[in-house]
């Protein structure tokens, strides 16, 4: 091998190794995109919603927004995706409140004024505390519908597998964060390096509650095929609704909220 070819090969290997090392140490910066600003619900038009602070055993403070359900209505325990904060989801909260349904939307550490830094371990532990908060508020487990959005689908699936709930909604779910990472970065050893793996399939397979999966067929972040795999892994009763023209974050403009409300109506009717 000519010496210049050898030097080029060595240089490529060094650059590749540096990129891999940088990706490993900065992986949570590449996974979580928090807006850290703390905003009061009333500032975004949610006068009926209260801010709640969840105190964690390791000394952090997690901000959550809570709107109470009207009598006879369920409460949505909502875990959001990896970007933004609670305030950017104010309109979503408003739509559930206007339907008479309660909602507890928990932020992650580092988001929405919450202290600490996000990780899979912390997010799941805090989600358990959010569930416990609803129980302390007198919400019956059968009246809790756990909702996971994108990255939050892994958190929601864990809670639904571990706690009694009335239903589980997975919005644009992946099979695992590792699968998503490997798809987007095929040249790098993602499966070996990722610490926050967010497995969904093992937990959705254990869930006893009725399941609704919603997914945009033009989703270029989490492909709809992953949503179909999650659906296939789940027990019945279950329902899959896809939206041919929707992407990752816009299916609400294609009828997903109406599909969710119809499913909740069927769920509640089945209890009567």
pLDDT tens track, the chain, 272 positions: 577 655 566 566 666 666 655 666 656 787 899 999 999 999 999 999 999 999 999 999 999 999 999 999 999 999 999 999 999 999 999 999 999 999 999 999 999 999 999 999 999 999 999 999 999 999 999 999 999 999 999 999 999 999 999 999 999 999 999 999 888 777 767 787 789 999 999 999 999 999 999 999 999 999 999 999 999 999 999 999 999 999 998 999 999 999 999 999 999 887 65
> What residues make up the domain containing 23?
1-31
| Same domain? 98 vs 12 | no
| Same domain? 79 vs 123 | yes
| Same domain? 168 vs 199 | yes
Whole-number pLDDT of residue 10: 59
| Same domain? 26 vs 121 | no
Whole-number pLDDT of residue 1: 52
Evaluate whether 219 touches 246 at the Cβ level (below 8 Å): yes
Helix H or strand E encompassing 265: helix 256-271
Whole-number pLDDT of residue 28: 72
| Same domain? 20 vs 83 | no
| Same domain? 150 vs 257 | yes
Q: Which residues contact 48 (CB under 8 A, 6 or more apart)?
A: 67, 68, 97
> In total, how many domains does the chain have?
2
| Same domain? 27 vs 154 | no
| Same domain? 1 vs 97 | no
| Same domain? 190 vs 221 | yes
Q: How far apart are CA 230 and CA 212, in angstroms?
A: 10
| Same domain? 107 vs 22 | no
| Same domain? 88 vs 220 | yes
CATH, residue 214: 3.40.50.1820
Q: How far apart are CA 203 and CA 154, in angstroms?
A: 8
pTM given for the model? 0.94
First to last CA, the chain: 78
Whole-number pLDDT of residue 17: 63
| Same domain? 17 vs 86 | no
């Amino acid at each position: 091998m000519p010496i210049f070819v050898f030097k080029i090969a060595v240089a490529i290997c060094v650059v590749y190794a540096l990129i891999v090392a940088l990706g490993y140490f900065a992986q949570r910066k590449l996974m979580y995109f928090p807006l850290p600003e703390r905003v009061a619900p009333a500032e975004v038009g949610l006068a009926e919603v209260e801010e709640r602070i969840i105190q964690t055993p390791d000394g952090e403070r997690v901000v959550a927004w809570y709107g109470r359900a009207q009598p006879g209505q369920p409460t949505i325990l909502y875990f959001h995706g990896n970007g933004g904060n609670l305030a950017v989801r104010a309109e979503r909260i408003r739509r559930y409140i206007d339907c008479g349904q309660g909602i507890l939307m928990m932020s992650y550490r580092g988001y929405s004024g919450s202290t600490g830094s996000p990780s899979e371990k912390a997010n799941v532990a805090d989600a358990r505390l959010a569930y416990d908060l609803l129980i302390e508020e007198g919400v019956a487990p059968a009246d809790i519908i756990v909702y996971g959005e994108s990255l939050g689908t892994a958190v929601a699936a864990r809670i639904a597998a571990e706690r009694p709930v009335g239903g589980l909604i997975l919005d644009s779910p992946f099979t695992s964060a590792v699968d998503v990472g490997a798809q987007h970065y095929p040249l790098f050893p993602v499966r070996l390096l990722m610490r926050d793996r967010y497995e969904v399939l093992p937990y959705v397979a254990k869930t006893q509650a009725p399941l609704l999966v919603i997914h945009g067929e033009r989703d270029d972040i989490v492909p709809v095929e992953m949503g179909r795999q999650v659906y296939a892994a789940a027990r019945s009763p279950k329902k899959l609704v896809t939206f041919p023209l929707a992407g990752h974050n816009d299916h609400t403009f294609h009828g997903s909220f109406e599909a969710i409300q119809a499913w909740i109506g069927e769920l509640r009717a089945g209890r009567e």
